[in-house]
Amino acid sequence: MRLFRFAFVLWSTVGLLAAADNRLDAVFARIDKAAAVFKGLKADLKMTAYTAVISETSIQSGTVVVKSPKPHDLKMLVNFTEPEPRKVRLEGNKLEVFNPKANVLQVYDLSGKHKAVVEQFFRLAFGTSSRDLKEGYTVSYGAPETLSGKATQRIELIPKSKDLLAMYPKFELWVADDTGIALQQKMYQPGGDYSMLTYSNMEINPNLPDSALNLNLPKGYATEHPLGSGK
């Protein structure tokens, strides 16, 4: 009887693993189909940040515009409107953050160690192929979940880079069944902290002029280069 139970549990486990592999392959197929034609998007954005040591959650909301003329060429403008206005622009090796209240533009040079972190956070959801994911992560299937009435498949990603793993032990993506684009992405940090981006009212591959990603800065703003970037 014990042998029979062991065989049954083993067989059931193998069956579950095979089913998970099949579901993950299906997610990869959706991701690759979307990546092959992805050129950009517009969406509303909610960014949730949780700090475990003080059990505090902060939420920012706004809009995001993305252009990707070719693979691995991503331009992005995030316009936070609540609770404090702030603009974040990413292009190539440069990240710009504009604070309207202080009228200060912070410019970060991402050609060094910061580039990998920023790319992992922002580029995972947009136009990334399954090959890119497999090269950078150990990917496993999570579960089907519904976000704002839309069917998604949650996948988990563990960085293969030891440096990145030390900073961000795990990522999660919620990939939409109908579009193959992530509607939500979550980045875990040591100690229980995390950041999560949730997208809604998404328009995929809209006709976006380059001006749609301009910061449109006011006169008289000051420029800063934190962390010694720009030197």
User: What pLDDT, in 10s, does the model give residues 128-169?
Assistant: 889 989 988 999 999 999 998 999 999 999 999 888 889 899
Q: In this structure, what token pair is assigned to residue 208?
A: 């976006």
What is the block-wise mean pLDDT of the chain (231 residues), using blocks of 10 residues? 54 48 93 92 96 95 91 86 94 90 92 63 77 92 94 95 89 95 94 95 92 92 79 46
pTM for the predicted model, two decimal places: 0.84
CA distances from 22 to 31, 48, 140, 172 (A): 14, 31, 11, 18
| pLDDT of res. 112 | 65
| DSSP per-residue letters across 92-110 | TTEEEEEETTTTEEEEEE-
- For 45, the 3-state DSSP assignment is strand
Q: Is 18 left (phi over 0), alpha (psi -120 to 50) or beta?
A: alpha
Residue 217 DSSP one-character state? P
Please, are residues 16 and 141 in contact by the beta-carbon 8 Å criterion?
A: no
Please, what CATH class does the domain formed by 29-228 belong to?
mainly beta
